A and B are shown apart, each in its own frame.
Chain A
């Protein structure tokens, strides 16, 4: 990313509470077009919650989310999808009784306003779902369901894509393959935020990482620099996911 690139997403002092529990506690970061940004942190640090708020699943309790210079906090998800935000889910959420093809057709029909939708068969082919295109999503394995989540998101032509542990559960060959795909999407100008516990994978694909702890960022920069930071080391120390 060149430093003068204008951010497409700015998250400022974001707060999200569940009852008395503060899941996001003043989270601040930005993401630029064409950039792959890693969002890392221990379990429960608020990564998924951040994605949920940015994608409109929850309204923020404080702070703001600015996308394309417009404050979008609390806007309904389907409207954000039309603006160009989409995501995948940590636990994949396809439409189980619909076929793979039907799953994607919903997003093609409703996911964007104007413009030509991407070609369905090409998308399925690209993400290795062509062979199961006419099977119900319930028949897919977990990795395939994650790909279906991703294809559904891509069918809406997002400019900001949020990937919540897309790579978890993939084998090394698949990891390489999906890393290539993600980089290619970013090269096309898409801004991609990747939540992942696999540090090797994060190292490989991200330009920059944000380290989260207890709902706020404690580091921003290259992953290589992050692992030198005493505060980051402490957060991950003894943690099962330490690099």
Chain B
């Protein structure tokens, strides 16, 4: 059996199946939705960071832009929710295109410039002068499309698409070439790889994923403010989850979200007073002892982790 088929059968299908069944047996649907959203975002970070090495500190910019893309279509054009979600993905891609010059930067410079760009988009959207289009800082209310259960299944579809994309990267020459670019751009070009094109492709793919997730988030919550959908927590969480599990793998970011976001909610419910402390210590421990993520526990022993 080819590896790609194995990865689909043993990772993608079970993941989607479990999250498709869970709403029937577990009451806290918002929590399930948040899990799915973070699974998408963590895999989106995986695509751009794991496979190309660019750390997107402002990743939420695409998410927020997608949420507002959704809102604008619903408010001003009475679009059906699914059309507005696709538009949200398109908005993510367009913002990604606009930001392609950032890819000339590397390391911390890229991370900081990307963070600044996401703040710029937030302030543009929240500008009172744009009240006629985005409702500025006053937030939007999209009661017409409100349908959390449809939104949840749309999120699952996007998760399937995203994990499918990562399975492709993990099993194709395209994904291998991306990793080659991450390792050494000069050598990659001597292997015949068009470095600029590859970086842009990965960047736009991760922007698309976050834009779609943002659109679906807007659909699900239906009432939100700029600060909600542009919250830096989305970027930080998605990055921490992906790194905790281990990037450039299919399973790493999934494990990262399930464990860390699970712990996050567990501590939050049971002992909220220690929450920040325990969570902070956990993350510090990770950075100090497992810089390559949980999956490196296995890869260090020579086991292959998909």
Which residues of A line the B interface, CB within 8 A? 55-57, 76-78, 81-82, 86-87, 89, 93-98, 102-103, 105-107, 109-112, 149, 152-153, 155-156
Contact = CB atoms under 8 A, between A and B. Distances in A.
17 contacts: A55-B190, A57-B186, A77-B186, A81-B192, A82-B192, A89-B187, A93-B187, A94-B187, A95-B183, A95-B187, A96-B184, A98-B179, A105-B173, A106-B193, A107-B190, A109-B177, A156-B192
B283 interface: no
A96 B183 contact: yes
Contact of A86 (B179, B184, B190, B193): B190
10 A-B pairs with the lowest CB-CB distances in the bound complex, closest first: A109-B173, A111-B192, A95-B183, A77-B189, A110-B192, A107-B191, A81-B192, A93-B187, A106-B180, A106-B191
A103 B192 CA distance: 12
B193 A110 contact: yes
Contacts of A153: 190
Given A109-B173, A110-B177, A98 B191 contact: no
A111 B177 CA distance: 11
Contacts of B173: 105-106, 109-110
B190 A87 contact: yes
B32 interface: no
Interface in B112-152: none
B188 interface: yes
Interface in B180-212: 180, 183-184, 186-195
Determine the interface band of chain B, counting residues with CB < 8 A from chain A. Answer: 10 to 19
Contact of A78 (B176, B183, B184, B193): B193
B190 A77 contact: yes
Contacts of A81: 189-192
B304 to A, nearest CB: 10
Contact of B184 (A82, A87, A95): A95
B291 to A, nearest CB: 13
Nearest to B248: A97
Given A105-B173, A106-B176, A76 B191 contact: no
Contacts of A55: 190
Given A93-B184, A98-B183, A109 B190 contact: no
A227 B192 CA distance: 39
Contacts of A94: 184, 187
Contacts of B177: 106, 109-110
Nearest to A57: B186
Interface centre among A78, A82, A112, A153, by most B CB within 10 Å?
A: A78
A152 B191 contact: yes
A149 to B, nearest CB: 8
Contacts of B192: 78, 81-82, 107, 110-112, 156
Contact of B179 (A97, A110, A156): A97
B193 A152 contact: no
B199 to A, nearest CB: 13
